[in-house]
Amino acid sequence: MILAVVLVPLAAAALALVLPSDRLRPLLLPALGGTHLMLVLVALIGRGEVARGWIGLDALGGLTLGLVSVLFLVCSLYAPSYLLLRRDRPNRFFCACVCLFLAMVSLLAVAQHLGLMWVAVETTTLATAPLIYFNRNQRSIEATWKYLMIGSVGIAIALLGSFFLSYAAYLGAQDSSLLFEDLVRNAAGFSRPWLRSAFVFLLVGYGTKMGLAPLHTWKPDAYGEAPGMVGALLAGGATSAAFLALMRVYRIVTLGGEGEFARQLLVGMGLFSMLYVAVFMARQRDIKRMLAYSSVEQMGILVLGVGVGGGFGALLHMINNGLVKSVMFLAAGNIHRAFGSKRVRDISGTMRRLPISGALFLIGLFAVTGSPPFGPFVSQFAILRAAVADGRFVVAGLFLVLLAAVFLGMGSTVLGVSQGEPSAGALRTPYRDDLAKTAPLVGALALVLLLGLWLPAPLERLLREAAAALEAGP
């Protein structure tokens, strides 16, 4: 069953390449989304307590796999109506690459070998690059090359960090393999200097894939030029997968006795990411680029949460952020089509022009910035409480100030495009809200609201098990 969550999307990718009809091919995506989610639920119910071998499903991987599967289902339900509007673009490679993306993120989630995990991260990059180029214009090809170049540098640095980690294992326990089970068991005997060096390189490498500042420079262009559906998969899926890869390494470093060193780096990079966004958010004049900077902030919150000992809050925030980003990116795509632009100066009165998408975009602002009663409020509060409990009062204060600054900067943009009257040109465009392009967004937002009001017991148990693994001392 664990292998099926990888093999089924791979088979769907192959099928998408051979199906001849551009009209029927997009229907493969929702079928895959529903099937994959069912397989993930069965795998989570039947998983063992310990993952053994190259492939296995532990709590950390299970959380990420479940999030990506739900996120993919939301986007796949949206995809057929979106691709129907884009009949000017062949969708053969688009559908195949989306399926391949799901397969590789699933492989990353179940990979229990350091090298296999690295391969999955790199293949995810290769699968998503053609999706960014879907619009086939000068800006999209520039964004694609920037994504590939910066991502390639990041993954190369991560490979070097993986070599350092394997050498630390060799010096400390020569019989240790690169299976996470062995690395975790033998971590206490690893070479400390090499372990530190490995974490620095892996933080830079996988931090580039996450989009932490100042390693985020690919994000504004990639998110700004990619279709909204692709932005949702990148912001909620690809970055969460990179976070999982970093957390697997962080656990080994912590068990190796260098947890405090790693936590200081995570707190510093997390605060810097939030500070960077707080400074530049108010100057954004493109709604998709604004969401890209919001993603940088959210990745900063994740690593900050782990750094202050709030693993439970950070992992819950990963889920909340992935769901909210799907709402905001898909709503932004609807707004882009209705107004013929994603520039703030060309957009006004979205609540009047698109009552559903405009309202979802506005509500998404309050959700993503941590306003109650939505899920991000609960997860951010959990991180704040962990910082206070750990005695990091300055960090807690900065966290609150930066959250407020980002809310003000992002709010000024979103409120500006929501209010007022739509232009005459926007009223003449043919696009209108319909059930197919809004119902998946409403469903995702309902899940975010649910997580703010009630945490299902199975999800809470999985979160606590994963958080306990992260916070285990040497």
According to the 3-state scheme, what is the secondary structure of 264-283? HHHHHHHHHHHHHHHHHHHH
pLDDT digits (tens, 9 = 90+) for 421-459: 998 888 888 899 999 999 999 999 999 999 999 999 999
- Mean pLDDT of the chain, nearest integer: 93
Q: Nearest CA to 131 among 84, 174, 89, 170?
A: 89
Strand partners, 286: 343
Q: Nearest CA to 12 among 62, 72, 70, 63?
A: 72
CA dihedral defined by 329, 335, 339, 342, rounded to 10 degrees? -20
DSSP string for 188-257: GGS-HHHHHHHHHHHHHHHHHHHT-TTS-TTHHHHHHHS-HHHHHHIIIIIHHHHHHHHHHHHHHHIIII
pLDDT digits (tens, 9 = 90+) for 267-322: 999 999 999 999 988 778 899 999 999 999 999 999 999 999 999 999 999 999 99
DSSP string for 110-136: HB-BHHHHHHHHHHHHHHHHHHHTTT-
Determine contact, residues 224/291, Cβ cutoff 8 Å: no
* Domains contained in the chain, number: 1
Strand partners, 179: 113
pLDDT digits (tens, 9 = 90+) for 387-421: 999 999 999 999 999 999 999 999 999 999 999 89
pLDDT digits (tens, 9 = 90+) for 127-175: 999 999 998 899 999 999 999 999 999 999 999 999 999 999 999 876 7
The pLDDT-based confidence of 49 (bands split at 50, 70, 90) is very low
pLDDT digits (tens, 9 = 90+) for 186-230: 999 999 999 999 999 999 999 999 999 999 999 999 999 999 999
Range of the domain at 228: 4-470
